[in-house]
Structure 1
Amino acid sequence: MASGILGLGSGQAASLNSDLIEKLKTAERKATVEPYDTKIENITKEKEVFSSIETKVSELLNAIKPFDLFVSGGVSAFEQKSATTSGDSVTFDAADVKSLKKGFTSVEVTQLAQKDVYQSNSFNSTIKDGTVDQGDLIINGETFNTNGKTYQQLADEISTKSGMNASIEQVGTDSFRLVIKSEDTGLDNALSISGQASQALGYTTDQITVNTSNHILEAKNMIAKVDGVTYDVSSNTITVDGLKITANKEGTSSINIVEDNTQVETQMQNFITKYNELVALVDGEVYNADSKLGDKSSIRDIIDQVKSKLFDSYGSSSDKSVFNYGIELDRYGSLSLDSTKFNDAVQNDMTGLKDLFLGTAEKKGLGTVLKETIDQMTFTGGTLDLYAKSMTTRETTLNTEKNKAEEALNAKYELLSLQFSSYGTIINQMESSFSGLKMLIQQSTVSN
């Protein structure tokens, strides 16, 4: 005799459990949610590839900057200068190397510019902490009334005025002086001190005549000869033909400025190397079936833009090309440099190289145009900017769709769990009823 009808009496409710639901949910998740995980993971890998390409584009940009007419700092690869110096009486500097004139410059310093400095008679701490009370102190026409003011208050008030400053200096164990200085060096910044307080404090001997023993530093101009021309100025720094000269002490120094073309080949080779690295990276991704790039045509456009500028004609007559100056292209698309031919141009045709790479504001050269082109790729709306935004948009959309799919899956199986629970209750009730029927059948069979 069968033990159950349609499975009743076989404990079927037990099979409608959470394990079965999880197995069903896991199987459906692979089809509905996991594809989004794969796509999101691919975008993460795409970002890594794109970051590498961005880095190479940035390196190429930095490599072409020395060949840009509008290079930051104003000095291109073709306008570098170097200098040799002798002596330590002055230091040399230049804010704009481009403006420097070639040649030898000699500097003879016979006097340094210095400030005007006065000190008061010394006083102890008791006097320092009391009030001055010596009437008016007049400095360069400014009147300072000392009555009712401490030395520190007087010093602070002096320092608020243009062209002078003052401080209380401890010069001994219990000895202080009120020191007054001109703000700047030179005769034009000398101090004139007078008034009743000037005599009482020791700056003057009779309210007018300078007390030389307390006039500890006298204002002076710098006096120097630069290539025989005498300079008598208030500052220790002068600028001559773009050369900043700062006097340190009396004595003679010199500088010799010459054109420096020793780095041009190195800088050109660096550009070629960075170009080849970018091309190799992009080609390796664009022509790779397994590449994670989502928009290969946009990435290929980077190289197309660079190549269109690189292989164009330049110069005032549009008759100059990189191939005229030792840059060569092999069958794989890589550049190389014929050093002999390039350096010959550096030595004998610098004008032509500048015309090719720098150009003019009206007729821009290769380096200038290429720098602008690569710059524009990173600007808002440029190739790199749009690609980066596209990845972000795609990633955001995928995460949103994945969340929706996850929520729908969870909702479906929450409902299924409730249905299984309800079905289990019904089956248990039916199995309970069937158990009574089964007993009656069994009893009836025994009786017969």
Structure 2
Amino acid sequence: MADGILGLGSGQAASLNQDLIDKLKDAERKATVEPIETSIEDITLEKEVFTEIENKVSELLEAIKPFDLFVSGGVNAFDEKSATTSGTSVVFDAADVSALNKGVTTVEIVDLAQKDVYQTNAVDETTKDTVINAGNLEITVNGVLETFDTTNLTYDQLAEEINAKDGMNASVQLVGTDSYRIVIKSSESGVDNALTISGAAATTLGLDLAENHKLTAQNMDAIIDGVSYSVSSNDITVDGLKISAVEKGTSSINVVDDTTTVTTQMQNFVTLYNELVTTIDDATGADSPISNRSGLREIVNQIKDKLFGTYGANSDKSIFNYGFELNKSGTLSIDETDFNKAIEEDMAGLKELFIGVAENEGLGTQLKAVVDEMNFSGGILSIYENNMTSRESTLEEDKTKAEEALDAKYEQLALQFSSYGAIINQMEASFSGLKLMIQQSTAS
């Protein structure tokens, strides 16, 4: 005979336990929560791919900037110049190399500019630290007379007072064993900054002796491309070229267009464009986590729209006229022979194609604006990134709601199981008495 009716009497209440609830909950979680978690993981992977693409776009933007009419600093790839120098009499420099005139500049330094320099007679430390009391010391510079009363002034104090005045400076210097002098100099070089020293104290201190006038103020005398210059400083700027004289003699600088820069920067642009195309091709493949593949392809489409357009005053200039080639894979290459020929024979046309002018912007200028705007609010990269963030936020909310609903459902089920168990136990207890009566009746 059966042990129980519908399982009664066989301890069925024990099967309604937490283990059963956990199994049921796990099964339902696989169907409700885990698909959301998978979607969140896909967005994480998508973000990694997007970041790589974003970096490639940024690299391409940097490569385009030398071909932008409005490039920061005003020096585009076609304005670059290089210079070679000879001689050691001067050092050449330029704040804006592109502004330099092409050709050779020759500089002959006849005399270097120098300051006026005086020294006092040498004294020992005891005299140095004793008050001078020699009357007035008068120093004139740039037409201004300065008078120094040496009464109750030591050498150090007199030097401090001279230092406080414009156009001159002074210091007490140790020039030998227990031997000190006050050295007085004009603040600037050149004859216009010469010092005139007089007064009773000048005689006492030896400043009126010819041998103590160590340097006489003079201008730099130079001949630059045949033109004579006499200036108070050893630095002079001519046509944007800063010339710093360091010694007498002749030096020269030869400024030429730096066409190697154009070639190098153009190849860099092509390389980075190809890397972006390859990265996006990989990102939009069959196994890619990217959800909006057409959105990423639009990045390349916008670039291609400018890259393969026509430019120039007559809209007759294209990259394919200057050695560029498009491969079957969609990547670019440059025929160096054709491109170098264009540099030699039609540099102006190449510049018109890529740089253009304000009223008719070239390829590089327009492309830089397009790529730059991709990161701005409303740009394709900005929109895509905001979309990913929004989707991820929505999925996180959905996951939280699904988990909360699942937890609530099985908490309720646990309570129900507990109630059912109690009922079953009561029924099984009642059935045990009935079972015993049946067994006794059948035995007799």
Q: 1:21 to 1:133 in 2, by over 3 A?
A: farther
Report if aligned partners of 2:163, 2:169 keep a CA contact under 8 Å in 1.
Answer: yes
Aligned to 1:254: 252
Among 390, 396, 399, which residue is 2:393 paired with?
396
Aligned to 2:110: 110
Aligned to 2:304: 307
Deviates more, 1:152-161 or 1:337-346: 152-161
If the length of structure 2 is used for normalisation, what is the TM-score? 0.81
Q: Provide Cα deviations, 1:184-233, integer angstroms capped at 9, x if missing partner.
A: 4444455667789xx3xxxx336996566666655443332222222222
Q: Cα distance, 1:364 vs. partner?
A: 0.9
Aligned mates of 1:182, 1:276 — CA distance in 2: 62
Matched, 1:275 2:263: no
Q: Cα distance, 1:363 vs. partner?
A: 0.9
If the length of structure 1 is used for normalisation, what is the TM-score? 0.81
Q: Cα distance, 1:100 vs. partner?
A: 0.9
Report if aligned partners of 2:206, 2:212 keep a CA contact under 8 Å in 1.
Answer: no
2:254 is paired with a residue whose SS is strand
Aligned to 2:380: 383
Aligned to 2:35: 35
Aligned to 1:340: 337
Aligned to 2:80: 80
Aligned mates of 1:389, 1:10 — CA distance in 2: 60
1:378 is paired with a residue whose SS is coil
- Opposite residue 363 of structure 2, the aligned amino acid is L
1:73 is paired with a residue whose SS is coil
Aligned mates of 1:334, 1:270 — CA distance in 2: 13
Q: 1:217 to 1:281 in 2, by over 3 A?
A: same
Deviates more, 1:11-20 or 1:148-157: 148-157
Among 273, 278, 283, which residue is 1:285 paired with?
283
Aligned mates of 1:161, 1:410 — CA distance in 2: 86
- Opposite residue 45 of structure 1, the aligned amino acid is L
- Opposite residue 323 of structure 1, the aligned amino acid is F
1:205 is paired with a residue whose SS is helix
Report if aligned partners of 2:137, 2:148 keep a CA contact under 8 Å in 1.
Answer: yes
Deviates more, 1:147-156 or 1:266-275: 147-156
Report if aligned partners of 2:128, 2:156 keep a CA contact under 8 Å in 1.
Answer: no
Aligned mates of 1:402, 1:156 — CA distance in 2: 79
Matched, 1:366 2:350: no
Report if aligned partners of 1:328, 1:337 keep a CA contact under 8 Å in 2.
Answer: yes
Aligned mates of 1:404, 1:147 — CA distance in 2: 94
Aligned mates of 1:147, 1:429 — CA distance in 2: 123
Aligned mates of 1:195, 1:18 — CA distance in 2: 112
Q: Provide Cα deviations, 1:225-280, integer angstroms capped at 9, x if missing partner.
A: 22222222233222112212122222221111222223433333332232222223
Q: Cα distance, 1:382 vs. partner?
A: 1.5
Aligned to 1:297: 294
After the TM superposition, which residues 12-411 of structure 1 pair with which residues of structure 2 at under 5 Å, given as runs? 12-115=12-115, 124=125, 183-190=187-194, 199=201, 204-205=202-203, 219-286=217-284, 288-411=285-408
Report if aligned partners of 1:125, 1:176 keep a CA contact under 8 Å in 2.
Answer: no
Q: Cα distance, 1:15 vs. partner?
A: 3.1
2:396 is paired with a residue whose SS is helix
> Runs of 5+ in structure 1 lacking a partner?
none
- Opposite residue 265 of structure 1, the aligned amino acid is T
- Opposite residue 359 of structure 2, the aligned amino acid is E
Report if aligned partners of 1:195, 1:208 keep a CA contact under 8 Å in 2.
Answer: no
Q: 1:191 to 1:429 in 2, by over 3 A?
A: farther
Q: Cα distance, 1:366 vs. partner?
A: 1.1
Report if aligned partners of 1:64, 1:367 keep a CA contact under 8 Å in 2.
Answer: yes
2:341 is paired with a residue whose SS is helix
Aligned mates of 1:132, 1:282 — CA distance in 2: 85
Aligned mates of 1:9, 1:163 — CA distance in 2: 117
- Opposite residue 262 of structure 1, the aligned amino acid is T
> Runs of 5+ in structure 2 lacking a partner?
none
Aligned mates of 1:146, 1:403 — CA distance in 2: 89
Aligned mates of 2:4, 2:230 — CA distance in 1: 122
Deviates more, 1:21-30 or 1:131-140: 131-140
2:51 is paired with a residue whose SS is helix
Q: 1:422 to 1:319 in 2, by over 3 A?
A: same
Aligned mates of 1:123, 1:16 — CA distance in 2: 111
Aligned mates of 2:407, 2:153 — CA distance in 1: 83
Aligned mates of 2:152, 2:435 — CA distance in 1: 121
Q: 1:168 to 1:58 in 2, by over 3 A?
A: farther
Q: Work out the percentage of aligned pairs sharing the same amino acid.
A: 62
Aligned mates of 1:5, 1:152 — CA distance in 2: 121
Aligned mates of 1:34, 1:358 — CA distance in 2: 54
Q: Cα distance, 1:430 vs. partner?
A: 5.7
Aligned mates of 1:334, 1:105 — CA distance in 2: 45
Q: 1:405 to 1:136 in 2, by over 3 A?
A: farther
1:262 is paired with a residue whose SS is helix
2:290 is paired with a residue whose SS is coil
Aligned mates of 2:2, 2:52 — CA distance in 1: 72
Q: How many residues align?
A: 439
Deviates more, 1:133-142 or 1:86-95: 133-142
Deviates more, 1:149-158 or 1:403-412: 149-158
